[in-house]
């Protein structure tokens, strides 16, 4: 099996479409609450494809309301600014990575897990009095490197999936064994290409190894959220191995068994709605 070099990934991410300017604006100002709703709606509406995807997600079962959402402004009024910003980011990302025929890889499961990590990260951030929007977005984006690998190396990634199942190991370990690179490193390259903030880039790069110096606390939150989300097991595919949460991360968040049970209950309740979502 040919190993994938990081310089190869660097060239491949350059072939990806750039995120719409309004999405980059949302990501770069994700923790700001004083956003003009009319201005945001106007910017999104200028992108027809993004508008269509956003409205389709807003009308999905997960975000179901009594009324059919027909405009971005209406979506904000019915669902709230925070939720609509999250929908816009998800809509943009799914547009960059259309589904392909990588055998054994489920895009639906990918987004289910990403949303589960985002939900848990938000719950943890709330307990720590940190920005919910930043934590949620980092959780949503944490595995984005996987989509790069699946998009450009689908055949090789089928071997990763097979190895993981055979050896009952984590996705991260299977990637390093088969490809010589992992989705966290690939995600870091994409984050740099898309000009994500250093905080977001480090969270993506370090969510499997958060104890490395200089990554920041957001990487720790996403790391713990990822482990808890695997325990929730929200996907339809077999979840072979739950990534181990480092002792340093666990203690730095002040977690104990009682707190973990509460987080699992809260996240599970919130995710029950998401199980009905069929078009992520």
pTM reported for the whole predicted model: 0.88
Any idea which fold 6-274 has?
A: Hypothetical protein af1432 (1.10.3210)
Residue-level pLDDT at 242: 79
Residue with tokens 């934590």: 135
Residue ranges for the chain with pLDDT beneath 70: 1-2, 61-65, 238-240, 273-280
Please name which of 176, 243, 175, 241 lies closest in space to residue 208, comparing C-alpha atoms.
243
Residue-level pLDDT at 63: 67
Residue-level pLDDT at 274: 55
Taking only the tens place, the pLDDT of each residue in 115-135 is: 899 999 999 999 999 999 899
The residue ranges of every structural domain in the chain are 6-274
Residue-level pLDDT at 62: 63
Long-range pairs of 32-40 with CB within 8 A, sequence gap ≥ 24: 33/81, 35/81, 35/85, 37/73, 37/76, 37/81, 38/73, 40/72, 40/76, 40/81, 40/84, 40/85
Residue-level pLDDT at 108: 84
Describe the crossing of helices 171-178 and 183-193 by its angle, rounded to 10 degrees. Answer: 90
Residue-level pLDDT at 149: 95
Residue-level pLDDT at 279: 44
């Amino acid at each position: 099996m040919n190993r994938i070099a990081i310089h190869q990934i660097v060239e491949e991410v350059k072939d990806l479409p750039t995120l719409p300017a309004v999405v980059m604006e949302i990501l770069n100002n994700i923790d700001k609450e004083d956003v003009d709703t009319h201005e945001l709606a106007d910017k999104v509406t200028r992108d027809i494809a993004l508008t269509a995807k956003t409205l389709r997600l807003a009308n999905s079962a997960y975000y179901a309301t009594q009324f059919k959402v027909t405009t971005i402004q209406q979506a904000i009024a019915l669902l709230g600014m925070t939720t609509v910003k999250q929908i816009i980011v998800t809509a943009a990302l799914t547009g960059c990575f259309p589904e392909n025929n990588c055998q054994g890889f489920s895009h639906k499961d990918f987004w289910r897990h990403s949303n589960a990590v985002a939900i848990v990260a938000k719950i943890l951030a709330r307990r720590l009095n940190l920005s919910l929007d930043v934590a949620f977005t980092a959780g949503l984006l944490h595995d984005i490197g996987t989509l790069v690998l699946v998009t450009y190396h689908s055949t090789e990634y089928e071997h990763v999936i097979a190895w993981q199942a055979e050896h009952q190991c984590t996705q991260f370990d299977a990637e390093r064994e088969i490809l010589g690179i992992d989705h966290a490193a690939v995600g870091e390259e994409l984050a740099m290409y898309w000009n994500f903030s250093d905080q977001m880039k480090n969270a993506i790069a370090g969510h499997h190894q958060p104890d490395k110096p200089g990554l920041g606390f957001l990487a720790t939150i996403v790391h713990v959220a990822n482990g808890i989300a695997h325990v929730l097991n929200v996907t339809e595919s077999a979840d072979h191995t739950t990534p181990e949460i480092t002792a340093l991360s666990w203690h730095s968040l002040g977690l104990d068994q009682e707190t973990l049970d509460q987080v699992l209950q809260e996240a599970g309740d919130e995710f029950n709605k998401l199980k009905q979502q069929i078009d992520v």
